[in-house]
Structure 1
Amino acid sequence: MTPRNLMSACTLLLFFVWRLPCDQVIAFSRTDGTVFLSNGLRLNGERASDAGGFAYYGIKYGQAKRFEQSHLNTDFAYLNDTNRPKKGPVCQQTLYPVLMLVNGRNLTMSEDCLYLDIYLPPENSTHNGSWPILFWIHGGALRIGDKDMFDGTILAKATDAIVVVMNYRIGAFGWFSTGNDFAPGNYGLGDVKLALNWTVDNIAAFNGDADKITIFGVSSGGTLVSAMMLDDYVRNKVSAAIPMSGRLFWPASVQKNPREVAARFAARLDCPTSTLEEMVECLRAASVDDILRVYMGMATPLGWFGTMPLFQPVIDGLHIRASPRTILKDRASNKLNNRDFGRYIGGIMQGDAGHHIQRSNPEWLWDHTTHTYNTTERRLTQFFATLRGSCNEQAVSESRARAALHFYNVSQELSTVEYRQVLIDIISEVMFLYPELVEYLHYAEERPEDSYLYINSFDPGFQNVGAFHGVDYLHLFRGPLDSILGNLTSDALTEALQHYIRTIAHTGHPPGIYTDKTGNPNQYEAIDQNATWSVKSTDLRERLRFLESLVAPC
C-alpha cells in the first residue's frame, strides 16, 4: 500500500496538497530533510535535536467553522506568513497552570487551530523499510490541552517510528451540541478522524507505512481513542489502539440531554432559545472570551472529584452511531473475526485517581494526616456519597465503603501510609478500572486473541499521589515534560514503556510472553515498581461485577 523507497522527514515550513496520491510522491531526501512532491512543492525539514531526526511542525490538516464538522485544508497561504507560530496556534481554551509547567511554552490560541506535527526517527535508524506510525491524541478532560506539550523526538528515536501529534477542538468549540443537525456535536472527534485520514493518505511521503498505524492517547485522549474504535472504518485502518486511562464507558461520559444543556448555555450568553436555529446563529456570533467564561462557569460539579466538562461526546449517528456499550455488544454477538481489525490494548495507572484526590481533598494526602481503618471507611463513604451518576444515599454509601474494604481484603492493622494507598487504589478502581474493564471485556468477548489489558503500578514518589494519572505519558515522551517530575523521572520506566510501545508499533501486539495469549480474558500484563513487566491472572469479570455494584444507581 505504501511505497518503501521514500524517506524520513522534517518539520514544517512548506507543505503539500491534501490527498495527493502516494504514487505521485517523487522524492524524499534522507540526508537533508527535504521532501519533493510531484506538484513541485519542497518541504524543508528541521532537525528536532542533535541526536534526533527531522520534524515537520505546524502542518494545517483541516479547516472548520464554529460548530461545524471540519474538512481538509487546501489553503496554504499561511505558509507565507513569517510571523505565524512555528507549530501553529493551539485551540481556544482557558489555560490551567499545569499547562504552563512545561518548559518553553509560549502559546497563541485561535479557533483556526487544526494543525499537526510529525517527528521522524534519526536518519541513521537501523530499521529497514518504511517506519510504523504512532498517532498521539492529547488529553485534558475534553476542555484543555494541545499537541505542543508533546515533543515526539525522543519517542520517535526510541521506537523507530514516526510520531504524529495533533490539535483538535476542545471545550464548547469541540463538543457543543443541540442533538440535531443545527449543531450535531462531536467536532473534536471529527477533527481527530480527519487528522488520521490525512496521515493515512500522506505519511508515505515521510517514509511512513500507512498499514502500521497505532493510535494512542491518555485521559480524554484515551477516551477519544475508544470513540475512534467504535467506527469500523477506523478499526480497519489502524493496526492497534491504546486508550490509556480513558473513560468513555463511565456512565456520565456520553451526554444524554444535549439540547437541554445547550439551551442553558445559550441563555447564559443572552442568546434566544425559542428556536434552535436562532440559538445556534447567536452562539456562532458570540465572542471567544464570552464563550470561555460561561463554559468554565457552568462546569458540572462532581463533588470531591472536581467538575465534569459541560459538553461531552454525544450519540450523533455519525461519529458515534449508538450507545458505546450497544456497539460493542453487537460486535460481540456478530464476531466478525474474518476482518483485519486493529488490536485493542487498554490500560490504566493503578493510582489514576491520586491527582484528583489531591485537587479535591488535599488533606487526605498530607504527610501528617492520620489514616486508620475507620477513617478510610469514612472517606470512602464520602467518595461514594458524591459520585455522580451513582446512588448517593448515605446508607448506601456507607454500605459500599464497607463492601469495598471487605472485597479488597483490607486489614485493620495497616500503617497510615498503607491506608492512604488503599484510598487511592480503591477510588482509582471505581473511577478508571471500572470503565476500562467494561470496554476490555467487550472486546475480549468479540476477539479474545486480539484484546489486551495492562495495569501500571509504578509510583514515582510525587506528592503522595501514587501511580498517578499521567505517569505513563510523562515517561513515554520525556524531553520538556521532564520539568514536571524532575529527578523523580525514571529512566527504567521510560525504557520499559518505550519498548512496550515500540513492539506494538512494529508488530501490532505487546511484547513478551503476552504475545502467546490464547484468548484468556482474565490475563493481563502488569508493570511494577521496578519497571518490570509480568503477566498476571485474576477473575476480571468478577471484579467488574463488583465494581458495577459500587456505581449502580439507587
Structure 2
Amino acid sequence: MLFVQKIIPCLAVLIHIISGGEQESIHVRTNYGTIQGYRKFYNGSSVNQFIGVPYAAPPVGDLRFRKPKPPQLWDEVYQADSFPPSCMQDLLQNDAWLIPNQNISEDCLYLSIYVPGNNISLSNKSQKSVMVWIHGGGFTAGQSSTFDGSYLALQGDVIVVTINYRLGLFGFLSTEDEHARGNYGLWDQIAAIEWVHENIDNFGGNKSSVCIFGESAGGYSVGLHTVLTQNRGRIHRAISESGAVYSPRAVAQQSVVVAGRAARSLNCSTSSNKVIINCLKTISASALLKVQGDAAFGFQENETFINRLGPVIDNELILQNPVDILRNKSSPSYEFFKELDIMAGTNNAEGGLMYWRMMKYQQPYSFNISEGIPQKALCDIVAPAAASGFSAYRDQISKAVCDQYSVSDVSLADQARSTVNVYADIQFIIPTVQTLDAHSEQTHGGRSYQYIFTHEPSFTWIQDRPPWLRGANHAGELPFVFGLDHFYPPGRDKPEEERKLSDTVMTYWTNFAKTGDPNGAGNSSLPEWQEFNPESRAYMNLSLTPGPGRHLYAERVVFWTETVPEIMQPPLANPSTTNIPGDDGNNGSILNISFTLLLSVLSFKFLVH
C-alpha cells in the first residue's frame, strides 16, 4: 500500500458532542483523513463505532479483477455512520433481518471498527488488542454488516474490526496466468489487515497484538493467511472456526474452466485469456453476477463439495498447495505459521450441510430424509463420492468408508448422523486436527488450541434442519461469539444458560486474542483449556457445561489419517492423479473430494512424525 503522511499521535483524536442529543460523535484522524464515528450504549456500557470506513479504492472499471488500490485521501470529515452495500452476491432472504443495507455493489471495500470504552478520549496509549473478523459464505456470499462487534468488544475490552471483501467472480475469477491471477478477495483481506496495522493505534489499538478470526470461508481465509508471509508483523494470532488451511475447500480447482464458462455465457470471445478478461471487464456487474451460478456451480447438480470459485494457487500470493507449504519446514511460510498462536475448532453437527444435497436421492432409494438416511445410500452414493478423489484406490477406499460409517441394527436417524459425518470429517474435522498437529509438532513456536462446539442453540441461524440432526450445525457458534442480543431476533427468548455460554465463549476468544491463551493471563473461573499437541490432542468442549477432553473423534481421525494412507500402500505402478470432472460434468459424485485431501492424508504422517 502507498505511504501517506503520518499523523502526529497526540493529535490523533478530536471529540465533540452533538448539540441537543445524547449520542456523542467522535473524530479520529487516520492516514487518509478524518473520520467521524459515534458512541452508542449497550446495557449501560459505551462502544465507539466507526461504520463503513474505506480501506481501498472502489474496485470498479479497470480495477475489476485487479489487486486493491489504496483509497484516495479526503479533505472533508468522512461520516462513518452507515453500513456500505454488500459485495456483489445474491442476498439470502433468510438473513435479511440481520443485514442493515440491502444493496449490493462492486464499491464495497469498507471496514467497521468497534472500540469499547466509557471515557471520552480514545487515547492512543490504551493499547487494546485487536480482533479482525473475516466473514464466511463460501467465498460467494456474506458481509461484515451481519456482525455487530460491540458485544464482543465490551466483553473482552478489545477492538473488533469487521471487513468486506470481494466475492464470487468479482473476488476470485482466475485464468491462472498474468491476465487474471485471481485471489482479489484475499488481497482485499490483506489490504484491510494492512489498514488496521497502519491506523489502529489512532483508535487506541495495539498493532502488535492483532488476532484474525473467521468462520467457514472466513476460517479457510484465516488458515491461508497463517502461511502468507505478507502478514508477518501484522497478525499475531488466528482463530479458525469451521474452516482450516488443510481443508479441500481452502483452494479452488479449475478456475480457468469457470472463467471460460462465464465468458461464453456473456457472449465474450474465448480466443485467449486476455480477450476473456478484457471482455468481462466491460460487462455490467449485474450481468456478471447473473451468470456466476452456472459458471461456477453448474457442472452437475449433485457435485457440490468441490470448490471452483475461491482462492487459487496463483504463483504470486499462494505459491503452492498449503499442504506442500507446511511440509517444507525450512520455508519462510512455515516459520511464520509456527510463530503464530492458533486456535481452531468445529461444531459437532457440521455435516448438516449435507442435508439438502441428499434430498434428491429420496425417491430412488425409497426413504424420507426427515426420518433418516439408509445404509444403502451411504454405501452406494456417499462412500464412492468420498473416494472419487483417490482414483486408482477408489474401490478400496469406498468400501472402507462404507464399513467405517455404517451403523448396524439401529434407526435411520442414527445412520443419517453417521452418514453426514463423512462430509463433516473430510471438510472440517480432519483438516482441523491436521492443521493443529502441524502447528504444534515442535516445542518452539506459538501455542495451539482446539475446540468443539456442541450446544444446539435454541434459535438456529441456518434454518430447515432435520429432526435427527443433533448438536450445533454449521455456523451454530456464531451467536455465542458475537452475542445473543445481536444474533437472536428481537423478542426471541434468550435463555440464561445460553447467555452464560456466550459469555464463556467471548471470554475465551478475547483472552486468546490478547494473550495467545484462552485461559487469560490471570485467575479465571472458567474451566482450564489445555494446549493441543499431537500426543494429547487436548480440546475444549463448548457446551452449557464446558469441559476438557482429549483425542476428539479418535476413531474417525485414525481412519482418515492412518487407515486410508495404509490402503494406498504400496503405491500402484501408475496410479492416475485424480478424477475431477471436466466442463461436460459427467462425473456423478456428490462429494468428489479434491486432490488436496489425498495430499493431506499422504503427507500427514510426515508432518507430525
Q: Offset at 1:484?
A: 10
What are the equivalent positions in structure 2 for 1:59-78 lying under 5 Å apart?
Answer: 59-63=53-57, 64=59, 65-76=63-74
* Contact 2:34–2:76 under 8 Å retained in 1: no
Give 1:26's aligned residue.
Answer: 11
- Pick from 350, 353, 357 the counterpart of residue 351 of structure 2: 353
* Contact 2:258–2:295 under 8 Å retained in 1: no
Give 1:120's aligned residue.
Answer: 115
> Is the counterpart of residue 523 in structure 1 residue 527 in structure 2?
no
Instruction: Rate the CA distance shift 1:548–1:185 in 2: closer, same or farther, 3 A.
Output: farther
TM-score, normalised relative to structure 1: 0.83
Q: Offset at 1:326?
A: 1.3
1:443-463 per-position Cα deviation (integer Å, ceiling 9, x unaligned): 223557622222222222654
Give 1:168's aligned residue.
Answer: 165
CA–CA separation in structure 2 for the residues paired with 1:258 and 1:398: 28
3-state DSSP of counterpart to 2:539:
strand
Instruction: Rate the CA distance shift 1:370–1:149 in 2: closer, same or farther, 3 A.
Output: closer
Q: Offset at 1:283?
A: 0.5
> Is the counterpart of residue 324 in structure 1 residue 319 in structure 2?
no
- Pick from 369, 372, 381 the counterpart of residue 371 of structure 2: 369
Q: Offset at 1:33?
A: 5.0
- The one-letter amino acid of 1:405's match is Y
1:172-193 per-position Cα deviation (integer Å, ceiling 9, x unaligned): 0000111112111000000000
* Contact 1:437–1:544 under 8 Å retained in 2: no
CA–CA separation in structure 1 for the residues paired with 2:543 and 2:214: 23
- The one-letter amino acid of 2:539's match is E
3-state DSSP of counterpart to 1:312:
coil
Give 1:469's aligned residue.
Answer: 474
CA–CA separation in structure 2 for the residues paired with 1:24 and 1:333: 37
Q: Offset at 1:219?
A: 0.4
* Contact 2:109–2:165 under 8 Å retained in 1: yes
3-state DSSP of counterpart to 2:238:
strand
* Contact 1:119–1:152 under 8 Å retained in 2: yes
CA–CA separation in structure 1 for the residues paired with 2:244 and 2:337: 26
Q: Which moved more, 1:310-319 or 1:447-456?
A: 447-456
Give 1:49's aligned residue.
Answer: 41
- Pick from 538, 546, 569 the counterpart of residue 532 of structure 1: 546
3-state DSSP of counterpart to 2:41:
coil
CA–CA separation in structure 2 for the residues paired with 1:485 and 1:381: 46
Give 1:148's aligned residue.
Answer: 145
In structure 2, the gaps of 5 or more residues are 17-23, 520-525, 568-592, 599-609
- The one-letter amino acid of 2:502's match is T
1:366-395 per-position Cα deviation (integer Å, ceiling 9, x unaligned): 796156xxx245335422334485358995
3-state DSSP of counterpart to 1:72:
coil
* Contact 2:226–2:337 under 8 Å retained in 1: no
In structure 1, the gaps of 5 or more residues are 1-16
- The one-letter amino acid of 2:489's match is S
* Contact 2:505–2:542 under 8 Å retained in 1: no
* Contact 2:173–2:259 under 8 Å retained in 1: yes
CA–CA separation in structure 2 for the residues paired with 1:309 and 1:272: 25
Q: Offset at 1:321?
A: 1.8
> Is the counterpart of residue 506 in structure 1 residue 526 in structure 2?
no
What are the equivalent positions in structure 2 for 1:95-244 lying under 5 Å apart?
Answer: 95-102=91-98, 105-123=100-118, 129-244=126-241
CA–CA separation in structure 1 for the residues paired with 2:141 and 2:53: 21
Instruction: Rate the CA distance shift 1:523–1:250 in 2: closer, same or farther, 3 A.
Output: closer
Instruction: Rate the CA distance shift 1:40–1:536 in 2: closer, same or farther, 3 A.
Output: closer
- The one-letter amino acid of 2:264's match is A
* Contact 2:174–2:181 under 8 Å retained in 1: yes
> Is the counterpart of residue 495 in structure 1 residue 495 in structure 2?
no
- The one-letter amino acid of 2:404's match is A
Q: Offset at 1:267?
A: 1.6
Q: Which moved more, 1:216-225 or 1:542-551?
A: 542-551
Give 2:489's aligned residue.
Answer: 483
3-state DSSP of counterpart to 1:221:
helix
* Contact 1:381–1:400 under 8 Å retained in 2: no
* Contact 1:132–1:506 under 8 Å retained in 2: yes
* Contact 2:397–2:564 under 8 Å retained in 1: no
Note the aligned Cα RMSD (angstroms).
3.8
* Contact 1:449–1:519 under 8 Å retained in 2: no
CA–CA separation in structure 2 for the residues paired with 1:179 and 1:368: 43
Give 1:35's aligned residue.
Answer: 27
Instruction: Rate the CA distance shift 1:522–1:155 in 2: closer, same or farther, 3 A.
Output: same
- The one-letter amino acid of 1:471's match is G
Instruction: Rate the CA distance shift 1:335–1:46 in 2: closer, same or farther, 3 A.
Output: closer
Give 2:19's aligned residue.
Answer: none
- The one-letter amino acid of 1:202's match is N
CA–CA separation in structure 2 for the residues paired with 1:402 and 1:415: 17
- The one-letter amino acid of 1:404's match is Q
CA–CA separation in structure 2 for the residues paired with 1:78 and 1:361: 55
3-state DSSP of counterpart to 2:52:
strand
Q: Offset at 1:91?
A: 0.8
3-state DSSP of counterpart to 1:299:
helix
CA–CA separation in structure 1 for the residues paired with 2:432 and 2:482: 23
CA–CA separation in structure 1 for the residues paired with 2:384 and 2:490: 33
Q: Offset at 1:261?
A: 3.0
Give 1:400's aligned residue.
Answer: 400
* Contact 1:61–1:115 under 8 Å retained in 2: yes
Give percent identity, aligned residues only.
Answer: 23
3-state DSSP of counterpart to 1:48:
strand
What are the equivalent positions in structure 2 for 1:217-296 lying under 5 Å apart?
Answer: 217-251=214-248, 253-296=250-293
CA–CA separation in structure 2 for the residues paired with 1:79 and 1:337: 42
1:5-64 per-position Cα deviation (integer Å, ceiling 9, x unaligned): xxxxxxxxxxxx975536545243689552354999654321233443110011001013
Give 2:417's aligned residue.
Answer: 421
- The one-letter amino acid of 2:405's match is L
Q: Which moved more, 1:483-492 or 1:191-200?
A: 483-492
Residues matched between the structures, number: 527
Q: Which moved more, 1:357-366 or 1:523-532?
A: 357-366
1:460-518 per-position Cα deviation (integer Å, ceiling 9, x unaligned): 26544431110111221134421399447722321221011011111022227866648
3-state DSSP of counterpart to 2:451:
strand
Q: Offset at 1:201?
A: 0.7
3-state DSSP of counterpart to 1:399:
helix
- The one-letter amino acid of 2:509's match is I
* Contact 1:35–1:205 under 8 Å retained in 2: no
3-state DSSP of counterpart to 1:69:
coil
Instruction: Rate the CA distance shift 1:515–1:487 in 2: closer, same or farther, 3 A.
Output: closer
CA–CA separation in structure 1 for the residues paired with 2:118 and 2:357: 44
Q: Which moved more, 1:145-154 or 1:504-513?
A: 504-513
* Contact 2:354–2:423 under 8 Å retained in 1: no
Q: Offset at 1:341?
A: 2.6
CA–CA separation in structure 2 for the residues paired with 1:233 and 1:241: 15
> Is the counterpart of residue 435 in structure 1 residue 431 in structure 2?
yes
Give 1:10's aligned residue.
Answer: none
* Contact 1:68–1:183 under 8 Å retained in 2: yes
1:241-260 per-position Cα deviation (integer Å, ceiling 9, x unaligned): 11111154333542344333
- Pick from 549, 552, 558 the counterpart of residue 542 of structure 1: 558
What are the equivalent positions in structure 2 for 1:439-454 lying under 5 Å apart?
Answer: 439-445=435-441, 450-454=447-451
